[in-house]
Amino acid sequence: MRLFYSYQIKEYLYHTVIIFCLLLLFIGTIRATLIFTELSQFQLSLFNIIIIFLTSIGEISAFSLLLSAYLSILFVVQRMKYEREILALFSLGYSLKHFLKVIFLFSFKIFFLLLFLTMEVVPLSKRLQKDLKVNLYKGLMESSIPERTPFPIRDTLVLYAKRTLENGSTRLYDTLVLEDTQEKKGIYFAKSGVLVLKQGMLILEKGNAFFKEASGSIEVMEFKYYEISFDTEGLKKEDFYIKRGEMTLSELKETIQKEKDKRKIYRYMTELYGRIFYPLTSLFLLLQAFFLGLIIYAPQRTLLFIIGSLFYLLFFGFYNFCTSFSETGKFHPLVGFFLFFISISLVIWISYVYIKKKGATYL
């Protein structure tokens, strides 16, 4: 019996680790690429790139782990069905109860891992990522303009100056400016100019400009004085605040005690409860995955991956709906979570009754 439990759990863990690593690499790379695009105006150091990639992985680690465990159970159960291994074990005296015991043991392992990820890794990753973004924008506002080096003022505005002189504002000499917006694309050449970053103002003196409008028309202009204004609000004011997803447990509890607005209190409480209840969903979802693996038949792993992912995303979407329901302020946050667990319990019960009616020959 001990050998049976050990063999089954190793099978689930093996598939979970492989799928988890692949999902982290795939989804984490996509997430990091989106952040790189957002911060494309900055000259990111190797350290910044590593931080962005690691925090992107950390941010999606809990989601990926639960999905990996869900898919691993589907893969293992389908393999055992296809190779008639389940029938062989039933003929040796094993029953559905023994398989369910393995699922519960495996689910508890995933539960504690998820608890660590939702309590520590995910909020820390979000906090580090936001701190990096804030520091990059602050550094841009305080930095000096390098000579003979392209300097991105904004993602739509790049400045190049042959010589610069810092004196409160930046005095520019022999300047080239590239502007690329949805309305137009422009190139400016100027003998001199003044850049005031904090005020979002660039003044060009004695030069020429070439514009290409969105309609395709080209305009050439000579100027003695030309002013370009740009948005200095790289970060919104709320971006400087620590959001609930970035808070530690102690910070969440402290905020709940200080906050007076009922709806905001419920939002913080939902975040707090979610860090416990999301890991708890593993005890239900993985059991549902086991029953789903017994009911469906998908010999091709690609098809099984698609089916499993769709079912998981369906439950994940319903979980998010229930948590958003908890944030309305009309009901206690626990109501939304209980709605999810009651619903998933009903699905599990129906699946169990269906399998019991089919009997061992169905396996």
Residue 118, in any domain of the structure: yes
Domain final residue pick, 177, 210, 229: 229
What local confidence, expressed as pLDDT, does residue 314 receive? 93
Domain count, the chain: 2
Q: Are both 6 and 101 inside the same structural domain? A: yes
Q: Are both 127 and 259 inside the same structural domain? A: yes
Residue 151, in any domain of the structure: no
Q: Are both 294 and 345 inside the same structural domain? A: yes
Q: Are both 258 and 310 inside the same structural domain? A: yes
What local confidence, expressed as pLDDT, does residue 41 receive? 66
Where do runs of H (alpha helix) occur along the chain? Answer: 2-38, 46-59, 61-82, 85-91, 96-116, 122-142, 249-258, 262-295, 301-326, 333-358
Q: Are both 115 and 260 inside the same structural domain? A: yes
Which structural domain, as residue segments, surrounds residue 128? 2-139+239-362
Q: Are both 133 and 6 inside the same structural domain? A: yes
Q: Are both 284 and 324 inside the same structural domain? A: yes
Q: Are both 224 and 287 inside the same structural domain? A: no
Residue 152, in any domain of the structure: no
Residue 145, in any domain of the structure: no
Q: Are both 341 and 283 inside the same structural domain? A: yes
Cα three-residue angle 147-52-115, rounded to 5 degrees: 160
Domain final residue pick, 229, 247, 272: 229
Residue 49, in any domain of the structure: yes
What local confidence, expressed as pLDDT, does residue 32 receive? 92
Q: Are both 31 and 180 inside the same structural domain? A: no
Contact 313, 252 (CB under 8 A): no
Burial of 67 (0-12, 13-18, 19+ CB in 10 A): buried
What local confidence, expressed as pLDDT, does residue 144 receive? 60
Report the C-alpha gap between 357 and 353 in whole angstroms: 6
Residue 222, in any domain of the structure: yes
Nearest to 57 by CA among 124, 10, 8: 124
Domain final residue pick, 229, 248, 282: 229
CA 47 to chain centre: 20
Query: DSSP code of 144?
Result: P
Mean pLDDT of successive 10-residue stretches along the chain, which has 363 residues: 81 94 94 86 83 94 95 90 77 79 94 95 92 77 65 73 69 74 78 77 84 76 81 54 82 85 86 92 93 83 86 91 80 87 93 76 49
Residue 349, in any domain of the structure: yes
Residue 147, in any domain of the structure: no
Report the C-alpha gap between 56 and 48 in whole angstroms: 12
Q: Are both 126 and 275 inside the same structural domain? A: yes
**Token output for 208:** 């020429």
Tell me the whole-structure pTM to 2 decimals. Answer: 0.76
Nearest to 140 by CA among 239, 50, 234: 234
Q: Are both 195 and 287 inside the same structural domain? A: no
